[in-house]
């Protein structure tokens, strides 16, 4: 069977992503176990791997309960706050899920946390909390320069790759991005589509990376319109991408 990727909603905004072939299933960032177990049972799937991006509880809170039901490989970064990880990976390593024929490359993306990683292959990017649609993660443990470098790595991937991030923040992110670039036509169109989807109870993910490059302000810190918005917000700021990113991120944090 062809690979399917389905979201498992959890908490208020989280998506736990399930990758399966109607038999085996890999789970990305299981912050809560009951929803995952219900999904596996309803779909008659066998858990075969856990892929973790970072240590926050809403991403790993369900790991222990899942492992108590079935021992499977747990992929993730080297971080003492994630003791369940038994397949430690870093920049340039590969995470393998042979049951699904999947081989992901690992990219280190510090910024949201100091050890955050993402997984990607030719078709999909499992982005955790580094990249959202029209947004990015807060800087809890990293610097603007670190997050700028992390986002630059993702921006260099194939523009047709589909981005599977971990939260439904798109509507709020669109409202902020329109304050940064009110004249951005692709952003205006996407904001309208997001409003339509959310009104119907539909999700806004995954999203295409190439589209994000057209309207996500955190991927556009070299664009004159975003630089101008940052300097209008903080007149003493410069034009270096990391500095522009810092201004935009602080603005978003208080938006």
pLDDT tens by residue, 39-65: 999 999 999 999 999 999 999 999 999
Whole-number Cα distances in Å, 206 to 15, 192, 195, 202: 11, 17, 16, 12
Contacts for 185 with CB less than 8 Å, ≥ 6 apart: none
Q: How confident is the model at residue 69 (pLDDT cuts 50, 70, 90)?
A: very high
Which of 153, 83, 85 has its CA nearest to residue 125? 153
Judging by DSSP bridges, how do beta strands 46-51 and 87-88 pair with one another? Answer: unpaired
Residue 1 pLDDT more than 90? no
What pLDDT, on the 0 to 100 scale, is given for residue 52?
A: 98
- pLDDT (mean) for 97-102: 98
State the average pLDDT for the chain: 98
pLDDT above 90: percentage of residues in the chain: 99
Contacts for 2 with CB less than 8 Å, ≥ 6 apart: 21
Q: How confident is the model at residue 233 (pLDDT cuts 50, 70, 90)?
A: very high
What pLDDT, on the 0 to 100 scale, is given for residue 175?
A: 98
pLDDT 10s digits, 179-214 = 999 999 999 999 999 999 999 999 999 999 999 999
pLDDT 10s digits, 137-176 = 999 999 999 999 999 999 999 999 999 999 999 999 999 9
């Amino acid at each position: 069977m062809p690979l399917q990727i389905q979201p498992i909603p959890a908490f208020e905004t989280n998506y736990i992503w399930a990758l399966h072939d109607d038999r085996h299933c890999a789970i990305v960032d299981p912050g809560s176990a009951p929803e995952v177990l219900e999904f596996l049972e309803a779909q008659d799937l066998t858990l075969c791997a856990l892929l973790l991006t970072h240590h926050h509880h809403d991403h790993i809170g369900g790991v222990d309960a899942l492992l108590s039901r079935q021992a499977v490989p747990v992929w993730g970064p080297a971080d003492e706050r994630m003791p369940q990880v038994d397949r430690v990976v870093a920049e340039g390593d590969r995470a393998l899920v042979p049951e699904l024929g999947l081989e992901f490359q690992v990219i280190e993306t510090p910024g949201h946390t100091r050890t955050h990683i993402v997984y990607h292959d030719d078709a999909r990017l499992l982005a955790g909390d580094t990249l959202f649609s029209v947004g990015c993660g807060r800087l809890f443990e990293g610097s603007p320069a670190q997050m700028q470098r992390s986002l630059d790595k993702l921006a260099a991937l194939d523009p047709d790759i589909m981005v599977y991030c971990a939260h439904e923040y798109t509507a709020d992110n669109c409202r902020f991005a329109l304050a940064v670039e009110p004249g951005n036509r692709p952003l205006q169109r996407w904001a309208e589509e997001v409003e339509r989807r959310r009104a119907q109870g539909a999700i806004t993910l995954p999203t295409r990376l190439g589209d994000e490059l057209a309207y996500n302000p955190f991927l556009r810190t070299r664009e004159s319109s975003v630089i101008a918005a940052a300097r209008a917000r903080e007149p003493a700021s410069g034009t270096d991408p990391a500095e522009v990113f810092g201004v935009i991120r602080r603005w978003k944090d208080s938006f």
